[in-house]
Amino acid sequence: MRLTTSMKILAAVAVAGGLGAAETASARQTSAAEAGLRLATFKCDATPPLGDTLIWTVKLESVADPLMLKGVVLEAGKQRYVLCALDWCLLCNDSERSFRETLARAAGTEPSCVAVHCVHQHVAPYADEGAHRLLDGASGKPPHLSQTFLDGLRARMGEAVAEAVKRLEPFDRIGCGTAVVERVASQRRLKAADGKIVSRVSETGKTPELAALPEGDVDPVLRTVTFARGEKVLARLHYYATHPQTHSCDGSVSADFVGAAREAREREEKVFQIYFTGCAGNVTVGKYNDSSLSAREALTQHLLSGLRAAAAASRFSPADRFVWRTEELVLPVRTDDDFVQQCRKNLDNPRAASGARVFKGAMRLASVARAKRPFRLTSLRIGDARIVLLPGEPMLEFQKFAQGRCPDRFVAVAGYGDCGTSYICTDRMFTEGGYEPTATNLAPGAEPVLKDAIQRLLER
């Protein structure tokens, strides 16, 4: 069900209008300055304190490397936008909304002009404060990320954005670059000889028979969007689809191999780098990862090579059009009686495992509670770049669908916005079986609704 469509456009010489096909190249080249396009980068540390709660209720014991919130503030005319990536596993429902509201206040804009996406590392936190309230009311109070830390982080990231607004600087060119990444991504949902789905999860490289299978259906292309003023590069945004996970639930926090590659590239290029995970619900590094340090280092180097190559291959165009579109969709959240009753049983059973009480109880009930509140999709078109920003943990099919709508254009896709959906499966997956359709908070029927919205976001 489509509720609303809002579109904000700042383009061409007339700030409130659009460029016609007959307008000249010189007009397009000067439009960025006339539209007042400016940019500033920001970051803040998003690492919880020792002893706080991570994914699956694991307690934080050590920090391998810090978790970061990294983003850009974009200004077009008098309107500001915020686009950022957070080194966390999940940000859901009330927490995702509160993060956007915090960033919007700091930037002097509206929450609809803010997009926050998780990178989805599995040695990192998740947050869903509606679920946290349910846990606090349950017997034994199963653990969750602390409110003190969340409130402090919101204050810090607001300060980081407010400081960034003070140093906005013009940009006038957009670069689009692509590179094939070797020996990183591999298909997660594999079909056995009997037709059943077998999961090649992120750490199954240690299983020889699974590691020996082909990569399968992946998108091997990393896409990079570069903001520049003349020859000066100001920031790069990278998009690639795979689970960013080499280890999990071991008591450490880390930005994992994707964070290591991102920060290595920033150090060597001395340009601000942001990494977004694409539609990776059914894509992992399972073929190439056996949880060893050597495997993690190899994945880091392969991804780093892709970051370098995509930057080197970038082709620049004038930042001659700025279009920010949002779609708000009510997706079919599962609210059937059996599902809801089982969630309550999980939450209320003090003998159940804490992880089940959290994920199969409170977090699912928090999504049921917002069943009529829409999820948000966003697209940004600027210069020759098109960026699509999706909620939840979408399957790769949605990324390929978006790119197929504009086969002759550069289209980068990020998933892991509001993850109240959990997985976003294709309808076919519900008949095939496997893990993902059992772990989603959505009912069948989300696929056509989401694809229709993606198509609208990419309208020329």
What pLDDT, in 10s, does the model give residues 311-343? 999 999 999 889 999 999 999 999 999 999 999
What tens digit of pLDDT does each residue of 212-232 get? 999 999 999 999 999 999 999
What's the whole-number mean pLDDT along residues 161-167?
A: 98
| Number of residues in the chain | 460
- Alpha carbon 142 to its chain centroid, in Å, reads 27
Structure tokens at 309: 């190559």
For the chain, the average pLDDT equals 92
The letter for the amino acid at 348 is D
pLDDT of the residue at 36: 86
pLDDT over 90 at 25, yes or no: no
Structure tokens at 384: 């020759």
Task: List beta partners, residue 232.
Answer: 229
End-to-end Cα spacing for the chain: 23
Give the whole-angstrom CA distance, residue 405 versus residue 447: 15
pLDDT band at 459 (very low <50, low <70, confident <90, very high): confident
pLDDT over 90 at 234, yes or no: yes
What's the whole-number mean pLDDT along residues 233-238?
A: 98
Give the whole-angstrom CA distance, residue 312 versus residue 50: 40
What tens digit of pLDDT does each residue of 269-278 get? 999 999 999 9
Phi, psi torsion values for 261, nearest 5 degrees: -65, -45
Give the whole-angstrom CA distance, residue 453 versus residue 312: 33
What tens digit of pLDDT does each residue of 276-314 get? 999 999 999 999 999 999 999 999 999 999 999 999 999
Q: What is the sign, positive or negative, of the torsion defined by CA atoms of 51, 57, 63, 65?
A: negative
CA-angle at 449, arms to 443 and 450, nearest 5°:
95
Contacts of residue 21, Cβ cutoff 8 Å, sequence gap at least 6: none
Is there a contact between 210 and 204 (Cβ–Cβ < 8 Å)?
A: yes
pLDDT of the residue at 347: 97
